[in-house]
């Protein structure tokens, strides 16, 4: 694709992404000692690539994408992009790879949710703020 992926219209998200891109590594971002992974999704309707920096939740080379949106009542827009286009580019540090995302449920979701809250404790507060179950994708 000749066009560069789009940056978020949200200032703090765009600023984080710009720092990662300028440095060439997600190590450029440190949120209270916690790591970030930069995902590149494909728009469900537009087909445009979009950057999504999220907290790093990783186990055995697999990654989770947690659609928390800070505990808002609706899913983040990227959730619908990943549902429609599960091929996602993952940048962790300076390593970039393409992985396939799938939404998880049941015991598998419970396991990854525990890992997510351990990696970023505010996820637990976000879940308490909303009536929706926060979706989790595993990327393999």
Count the Cβ atoms, other than its own, within 10 Å of residue 89.
17
Contacts of 108 (CB under 8 A, 6+ apart): 138
Residue 1 has pLDDT above 80, yes or no: no
Banded pLDDT at 9 (limits 50, 70, 90): confident
Global confidence as pTM: 0.93
DSSP string, 34-87: B-EEEEEEE-TTT--EEEEEEE--EETTEEEEE--GGG-SS--HHHHHHHH--E
Nearest CA to 104 out of 65, 61, 51 is that of 65
Q: At what angle do helices 122-129 and 106-119 cross, to 10 degrees?
A: 120
Q: Which of 25-29, 59-63, 132-136 has the lowest mean pLDDT?
A: 25-29
What structural domains does the chain harbor? 11-139 (2.30.110.10)
């Amino acid at each position: 694709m000749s066009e560069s992926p789009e940056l978020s219209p949200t200032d703090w998200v765009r600023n984080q992404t710009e720092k990662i891109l300028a440095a060439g590594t997600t190590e450029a971002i440190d949120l209270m000692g916690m790591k970030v992974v930069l995902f590149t999704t494909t728009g469900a309707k537009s087909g445009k690539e979009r950057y999504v920096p999220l907290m790093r939740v990783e186990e055995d080379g697999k990654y989770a994408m947690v659609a928390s949106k800070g505990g808002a009542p609706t899913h983040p827009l990227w959730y619908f992009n990943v549902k429609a286009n599960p091929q996602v580019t993952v940048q962790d540090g300076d390593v970039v790879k393409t992985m396939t995302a799938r939404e998880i449920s049941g015991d598998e979701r419970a396991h990854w949710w525990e890992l997510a809250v351990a990696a970023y404790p505010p996820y637990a507060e976000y879940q308490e703020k909303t009536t929706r179950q926060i979706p989790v994708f595993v990327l393999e």
